[in-house]
């Protein structure tokens, strides 16, 4: 099938590359010429395990190409996936200007039947806005009777595992009110459903709602455990043991029950805000999700609270090592990363920071800009030299079994604040390391 993916970020690029992997002919469109240059040079503008190999393989096979030519891209695809950004607006709502702009570009150029697929995470009612934008542009051209369909196909991709999630989906949600569009979407996703039909077809608004509801549920589990961790620490319980105790209940399960330094990224923060805003606009305040947001903002400061409790509020002359900057492992995404809050709070109190991340150093440098109070180092060990303590913010695998003797030797005092509960408190005590996790009693 002929497919166009509009946008070459996490959603658009992964979608385009994985659909090409199944034999479709895919054109990826982006208005950013630098992104297209990078892609045409055989690289990718994001860090996503396994994606570069898929891109290169399908470019070589002639099934995947990248362009800034809007006319060519729109004319190419029967299925046009909109995978552009939907950043939070000032009031917390999703900013749909790029989605609507993409829809208008389609309406200005299409000459035959198209299935326009909302792949971006968008609030309920976005398909109506897309449909209206396309119709308005067609009417300007005197083509108001031209047939087209707008479908919702939300993505459920975890950054760091997006390729695997796309190739082996646990569900494919299709929101469609058009029989022909539904048949085309079934045909497109048939290769992903050979062993089991994972496709869930529903009305468009329910599909739009499903994506927000899923992310809100996951964010709620995280904030719930983070709040319990604060209480566990106060009463002397170990939240890791509690997690195992409740996770063994099949009604609860183990996923997204890890206490830590708060969630970040491009999805949970903005999607929770957008759903809260949608609810408020409809007169249904979501009190649970409002609390989820508040709990997460507090949790991002928990490590700093521990540092202040140990060293005092005035941190002038203090130096802290930070391991892990990206909001989660296997990505270089710094959007809403808890590490940024930790760095900001430490430096506001006069401290300096030496930070390391296996992947996100270039992106961190771009986000932070040149600063005298933050040093980005090339090795984890280099961050430790002369630091008053080590703070772990992101749970990269290489941090799981470090050389603890080297940590003790490099730090001024053997002190570790573990924002991801990577280590056993009893082991750390036996090693002579002053250790503080999240909710470890």
Q: Which residues are catalytic?
A: 267
Q: Which residue has the tokens 């982006």?
A: 30
| Residues listed for the chain | 441
* DSSP string computed for 71-96: HHHHHH-SEEEE-----B-TTSSB--
* DSSP string computed for 381-428: HHHHTT-SEEEE-S--GGGSS--HHHHHHHSSS-EEEETT--S-HHHH
- φ, ψ dihedrals at 197, nearest 5°: -75, 110
List Cβ neighbours of 130 (8 Å cut-off, separation of 6 or more): 82, 99, 100, 103, 116, 118, 150
Instruction: Check residue 253 and give left, alpha or beta (phi > 0: left; psi -120 to 50: alpha).
Output: left
Closest CA to 392 of 318, 308, 325, 301: 325
Rounded CA separation 204/229 (Å): 39
Q: Rg of the chain over CA atoms, in angstroms? A: 24
* DSSP string computed for 116-159: EEE-S---TTHHHHHHHHHHHHHHHTT-TT--EEEEE------T
Rounded CA separation 236/121 (Å): 41
DSSP conformation class of 377: -
């Amino acid at each position: 099938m002929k497919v166009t993916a509009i946008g070459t970020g996490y959603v658009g690029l992964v979608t385009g590359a994985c659909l090409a992997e199944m034999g479709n002919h895919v054109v990826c469109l982006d208005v950013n010429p630098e992104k297209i240059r990078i892609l045409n040079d055989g690289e990718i503008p994001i860090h996503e395990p396994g994606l570069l190999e898929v891109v290169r393989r399908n470019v070589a096979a002639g099934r995947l190409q990248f362009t800034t030519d809007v006319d060519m891209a729109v004319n190419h695809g029967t299925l046009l996936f909109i995978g552009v950004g939907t950043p939070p607006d000032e009031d917390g709502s999703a900013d749909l200007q790029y989605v609507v702009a993409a829809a208008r570009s389609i309406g200005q150029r299409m000459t035959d039947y198209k299935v326009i697929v909302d792949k971006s995470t968008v609030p309920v009612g976005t398909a109506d806005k897309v449909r209206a934008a396309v119709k308005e542009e067609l009417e300007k051209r005197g083509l108001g009777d031209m047939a087209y369909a707008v479908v919702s196909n939300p993505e459920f991709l975890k950054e760091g595992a997006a390729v695997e999630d796309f190739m082996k989906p646990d569900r494919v949600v299709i929101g469609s009110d058009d029989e022909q569009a539904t048949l085309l979407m079934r045909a497109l996703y048939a290769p992903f459903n050979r062993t089991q039909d994972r496709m869930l077809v529903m009305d468009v608004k329910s599909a739009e709602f499903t994506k927000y509801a899923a992310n809100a549920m996951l964010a709620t589990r995280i904030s719930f455990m983070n709040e319990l961790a604060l209480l566990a620490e106060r009463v002397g319980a170990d939240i890791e043991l509690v997690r195992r105790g409740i996770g063994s209940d099949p009604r609860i399960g183990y996923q997204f029950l890890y206490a830590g330094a708060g969630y970040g990224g491009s999805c949970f923060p903005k999607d929770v805000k957008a759903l809260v805003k949608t609810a408020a606009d409809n007169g249904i305040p979501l009190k649970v999700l409002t609390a989820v947001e508040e709990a997460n903002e507090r949790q991002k400061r928990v490590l700093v609270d521990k540092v202040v409790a140990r060293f005092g509020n005035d941190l002038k002359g203090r130096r802290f090592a930070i391991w892990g900057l990206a909001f989660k492992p296997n990505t270089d995404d710094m959007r809403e990363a808890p590490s940024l809050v930790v760095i900001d709070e430490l430096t506001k109190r006069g401290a300096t920071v030496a930070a390391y991340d296996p992947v996100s150093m270039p992106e961190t440098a771009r986000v932070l800009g040149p600063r005298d109070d933050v040093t980005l180092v090339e090795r984890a060990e280099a961050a430790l030299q002369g630091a008053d303590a080590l703070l772990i913010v992101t749970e990269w695998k290489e941090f799981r079994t470090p050389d603890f003797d080297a940590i003790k030797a490099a730090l001024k005092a053997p002190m570790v604040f573990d924002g991801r509960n990577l280590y056993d408190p009893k082991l750390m005590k036996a090693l002579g390391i002053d250790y503080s996790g999240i909710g470890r009693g």
